[in-house]
Amino acid sequence: MPFSHHSHSGQFCGHGENTLEEVVQTAIDKKMQVFALTEHMPREERDLYPEEVQSSHTTATLSQQFHDYYCEALRLQRKYASEIKLLVGTEIDWIRPSSKVAVNGLLSKYQFDLFIGSVHHVHTIPIDYDRKLYVDAREKAGGIDEKLFEDYFDLQYEMLKALKPPIVGHLDLIKLMSDHPDAVFSQSAVVWQKILRNLEFIAEYGGVVELNSAALRKGMKEPYPTAEICKEFLAMGGNFTLSDDSHGTSHVGTNYGKLRDFIEKIDLHDVTFFVKNATTDDDRFPGVSKKRVPMANIKDHPIFD
């Protein structure tokens, strides 16, 4: 029973493609059984991405767009209930301490099944949008990748402590635009200790780290997070889920074959998925719980070809 816990669409994301329903239909066609809808939370105008500025978005229009997304996601959840188990959630953006207020506001306004805790900005500058913005953030951090990595994982720790997200998104996203995206984190003792600190906290509160295949379609050798991070989290008793981080129909299930090979490489025997049932694991998400499935039971599914 393959699944993905992270997705976007062109209908509700400026750098995505296709409608949300088309994305869902593709997941059904690929025989996914669980698929999470997790469009980005609305951000303040000072934090708009370039394409959002070009589209004349404001905080108000992004908030309305998110409300439209939520209503559409619930409609699709009902419409396709007999074909796929859709989870309705969001991917949060932790930018500064006040992000906690915005996230808690969303959690009180909408009944989600889960949310993904992600960091896309350091020193309030996007670090995965393009190389120029990444370099701008690096200059603010001190001019070298290592210093920016330190600040990224400190910001991530701040987010983890404040929100305890059920799923932690692309944990080492910071490498994407760096000078050496496939470098080994443990080569820097300071950065590595910050990563271990974050992993220990995630394991302690029971968070799930996504194995995100989007890194592979973006040219990286391994998914997010890298093997060295995964092995440490496994040693701590940590749990992983699967995500394609799709931004349109062409990304649904992309590189899941390589993801399966990576899972075998790190000796991961089972993966976690979220399901709606009568059990509740987290009071914030009534009727939603986690289950684990052995990789041996799903590794021969066609989506892994």
Which domain does 131 fall in, by range?
A: 3-304
- Measured in degrees and rounded to the nearest 5, phi and psi for residue 22 equal -65, -40
Q: pTM to 2 decimals? A: 0.96
Over range 190-196, report the average pLDDT: 98
C-beta of residue 165 within 8 angstroms of C-beta of residue 202? no
Three-class secondary structure assignment of 225-279? CCHHHHHHHHHCCCEEEEECCECCHHHCCCCHHHHHHHHHHCCCCEEEEEEECCC
Per residue in 5-58, pLDDT (tens digit) is 999 999 998 888 999 999 999 999 999 999 999 999 999 989 988 888 888 889
C-beta of residue 93 within 8 angstroms of C-beta of residue 40? yes
Confidence (pLDDT) at 146: 97
Residue 194 has pLDDT above 80, yes or no: yes
Looking at the structure of the chain, the number of domains it has is 1
Confidence (pLDDT) at 84: 97
Angle between helices 145-163 and 131-141 (to 10 degrees): 90
Per residue in 238-267, pLDDT (tens digit) is 999 999 999 999 999 999 999 999 999 999
Six-digit token string for 136: 């701008």
Confidence (pLDDT) at 160: 98
> d(Cα 226, Cα 220) in Å, to the nearest integer?
10
CATH number at residue 122: 3.20.20.140
Angle at 75 between CA 73 and CA 79, to 5 degrees: 115
Confidence (pLDDT) at 274: 96
Six-digit token string for 199: 């992993």
Question: Residues 6 or more apart from 88 whose CB is under 8 A from it?
Answer: 36, 37, 70, 73, 74, 77, 112, 113
Residue count of the chain, please give it: 305
> d(Cα 94, Cα 18) in Å, to the nearest integer?
26
Residue 1 has pLDDT above 80, yes or no: no
Six-digit token string for 37: 């809808």
